[in-house]
Amino acid sequence: MYLTWNCSLNIGIDRIDNQHKELFDCLEKLLTAIEDGKSNDEVIKTLDFLEEYVIKHFNEEEEIQNKTNYPLMDIQHIQHEDFKSDLKEFRRVFETHGGSTVLALNIQESLVNWLKNHIMNLDKDLGDFLIEIGYNK
Ligand SMILES: [Fe+2]
């Protein structure tokens, strides 16, 4: 078990919280597939799903930020783009060298920590802002 959700990660906006939980699940599946030495096809499947889900989630979050004129939307966008490019880089490494415990640990240190920090800091601020203006859809 690489990632455990706990309620301190909730930002108070149900739709976003549920998507964050799903992201945790996707990352867990990816890391477990690598660690269990699953076939390349199976790992790629988990990567494809994670990449698609990340794009969907960031787009939705950014759409809400645009709609509500959220003051920190530029910083959010930059961080989201960084995460997407890190994810692409991990795919490249996997496609070149295959899976390994080291790769799983690097993903954990990089993507998992990024996600936790991003949620605990920037997304919490977004949640507070959305609650303050009465947005919860
Ligand atoms: Fe975000």
Please determine, looking at this structure, whether the domain spanning 7-132 carries the CATH number 1.20.120.50. yes
In the reported structure, the alpha carbon of residue 58 is separated from the centroid of ligand 1 by a whole-number distance in angstroms of 6
Q: Please give the Cα distance from 23 to 1 (Å, whole number).
A: 14
In the reported structure, the alpha carbon of residue 3 is separated from the centroid of ligand 1 by a whole-number distance in angstroms of 18
Quick count: other Cβ atoms within 10 Å of Cβ 133?
11
Q: Which pLDDT score, from 0 to 100, does residue 137 have?
A: 64
How far, CA to CA in Å, does 8 sit from each of 116, 125, 136?
Answer: 10, 13, 18
In the reported structure, the alpha carbon of residue 100 is separated from the centroid of ligand 1 by a whole-number distance in angstroms of 29
Q: Which pLDDT score, from 0 to 100, does residue 2 have?
A: 78
Q: Please give the Cα distance from 51 to 111 (Å, whole number).
A: 12
Block means of pLDDT (10 residues each) for the chain, length 137 residues?
87 95 95 94 96 97 97 98 96 94 93 95 97 86
Quick count: other Cβ atoms within 10 Å of Cβ 99?
22
Q: Which pLDDT score, from 0 to 100, does residue 1 have?
A: 75
Domain borders along the chain are 7-132
